[in-house]
Amino acid sequence: MHRTLLLSAFLVAQELTPQCGGTPAGSAPAAPADNVQSIVVNAGPTGDYFNGAFTSVTICAPGQSAGCQTIDGVLVDTGSTGLRVLSSVLTIALPQQVGSSGAPIVECAQFLDGFTWGPVQMGDVKLAGEQASSVPIQVIDERAFPNIPAACSSSGVAEDTLDKLGANAILGIGLFRQDCGPACAFVGASNPGLYYACPATGCQPAAVSLSNQLQNPVALFSRDNNGVVIQFPAVAAGGAFSVTGSLVFGIGTQSNNGLGSAKVLAVDAAGNITTIFGGQSYPSSFIDSGSNGIYFLDAGTSGLPLCQDSADFYCPATPQALSATNRGANGVTIPAPFNVGNADTLDSRFSAFNEIAGPNPGGFDFGLGFFFGRSVYTAIEGQGTPGGAGPYFAY
């Protein structure tokens, strides 16, 4: 499925002001830490996912070291912010976040293929040797608050089960510190309506402070908190049964996460870069591990036929080796070669492909296939790195 948080709805309102907590360029790296988490591209917990990078996350009640739960089958998504967990897999009790009126806070998170609805609860999040404490988490559950506001339910399919979500949880570790930002901190016309206060009388849009919104857990680490590096080996044409890679926390904070020869692509306020393809510029483009293909343009503009089985993918008669150029808001350009194969003829036994592509009118979404054979960096807004302050992509 095309798994990308709907950035345009609210991240455009983010103020990219510097915030404390990063490792400044030129400072000495922190003492060595266990900052590497294994990630694997496989069929996932549903048994039929493709091009999904999965890992495990340990969640504890705030301040507790006993009675924690490790959840597997968690989709790693650099295109969203915040941890979202299906209530059906969460076996520990977490405290509910409440608003100024004392009513429970519930969130509607909108993705390109649907939405998640459920209460915001608090927990400690552990990844590798890192920990983020007292993190607001969305627990996806319609049962506790069944009267979903029309503004939320009209945005697509409710992804409240494993079959619909395709994962036990989504780990959003993208460019931003919060999943909404200043727009959700005030009530008014500019509030996009992600957060709701839900007393017994019904749910109403609510203002939620920055610290109480869903957080990028990496930004809350005590070290290695300025971004992530995703590393995968190359995948041969035709695909692979599974592929194992690394999710490395921090950029330039330890000997294993330096930028090396990677070039930095600064993003705009919405988290986008510009992709140049066929002599045209597409400024609403981005790099996203949570998308299972490279999505770009439409059949007319790309010149590629859609599949007979699904109009979500391209099916050229012969494999296509294409090339674009990515340009950052800082003016830096980097070649972006990619492949497009016939999605209908790929081996259904495999889970990792570098040639899955489909339409995305108006821009480029460089999904997981773009990560194979590369080290891709995602720097968090306002956090210092050797390549400058985030937010940016680099590869």
Residues 6+ apart with CB under 8 A from 200: none
Based on the fold, state whether residues 273 and 214 are members of the same structural domain: no
Rounded to 5 degrees, what are φ and ψ at 335? -60, 150
Would 233 be classed as within a structural domain? Answer: no
Would 235 be classed as within a structural domain? Answer: no
Task: Residue 90: name the closest of 162, 39, 157, 179 by CA.
Answer: 162
Would you write out the chain's pLDDT as a tens digit for each of its 395 residues? 333 333 333 332 333 333 333 444 444 444 445 999 999 999 999 999 999 999 999 999 999 999 999 999 999 999 999 999 999 999 999 999 999 899 999 999 988 778 999 999 999 999 999 999 999 999 999 888 999 999 999 888 999 999 999 999 999 999 999 999 999 999 888 899 999 999 999 999 999 999 999 999 999 999 999 999 999 999 999 999 999 999 999 999 999 999 999 999 999 999 999 999 999 999 999 999 999 999 999 999 999 999 998 999 999 999 999 999 999 999 999 999 999 999 999 999 999 999 999 999 999 999 999 999 999 999 999 999 999 999 999 99
Would 228 be classed as within a structural domain? Answer: no
Based on the fold, state whether residues 145 and 269 are members of the same structural domain: no
d(CA 99, CA 388): 36
Based on the fold, state whether residues 142 and 290 are members of the same structural domain: no
Residue 277 Cα to chain centre, angstroms: 24
Would 30 be classed as within a structural domain? Answer: no
369: containing domain: 261-394
Q: Which among 171, 193, 220 is the end of a domain?
A: 220
Half-sphere exposure of 69 (CA within 13 A, CB side): 14
Would 80 be classed as within a structural domain? Answer: yes
Based on the fold, state whether residues 195 and 289 are members of the same structural domain: no
Query: Residue 17: what pLDDT?
Result: 30
Number of domains in the chain: 2
Residues 6+ apart with CB under 8 A from 48: none
Query: Residue 187: what pLDDT?
Result: 83
Query: Residue 144: what pLDDT?
Result: 86
Based on the fold, state whether residues 266 and 216 are members of the same structural domain: no
Query: Residue 248: what pLDDT?
Result: 98
Residue 175 Cα to chain centre, angstroms: 9
Residues 6+ apart with CB under 8 A from 355: 237, 239, 319, 339, 340, 341, 346, 369
Three-class SS string for the chain?
A: CECCECHHHCHHHCCCCCCCCCCCCCCCCCCCCCCEEEEEECCCCCCCCCCCEEEEEEEECCCCCCCCEEEEEEEEECCCEEEEEECCCCCCCCCECECCCCCEEEEEEEECCEEEEEEEEEEEEEECCEEEEEEEEEEECCCCCCCCCHHHHCCCCECCCHHHHCCCEEEEECCCCECCCHHHHCCCCCCCCCEEECCCCCCEECCCCHHHCCECHHHHCCCCCCEEEEEECCCCCCCECCEEEEEEECCCCCCCCCCCCCCEEECCCCCCEEEEECCEEEEEEEECCCECCEEEECHHHHCCCECCCCCCCECCCCCEEEEEEEECCCCCEEEEEEEECCHHHCCCCCCECCCCEECEEEEEEECHHHHECCEEEEECECCCCCCCCECEEEC
Q: What is the pTM of this model?
A: 0.91
Based on the fold, state whether residues 202 and 65 are members of the same structural domain: yes
Based on the fold, state whether residues 47 and 176 are members of the same structural domain: yes
Query: Residue 33: what pLDDT?
Result: 54
Based on the fold, state whether residues 191 and 309 are members of the same structural domain: no
Cβ–Cβ < 8 Å for 78, 271: no
Would 19 be classed as within a structural domain? Answer: yes
Rounded to 5 degrees, what are φ and ψ at 29? -60, 150
User: What's 318's domain CATH number?
Assistant: 2.40.70
Q: Which among 205, 220, 235 is the end of a domain?
A: 220
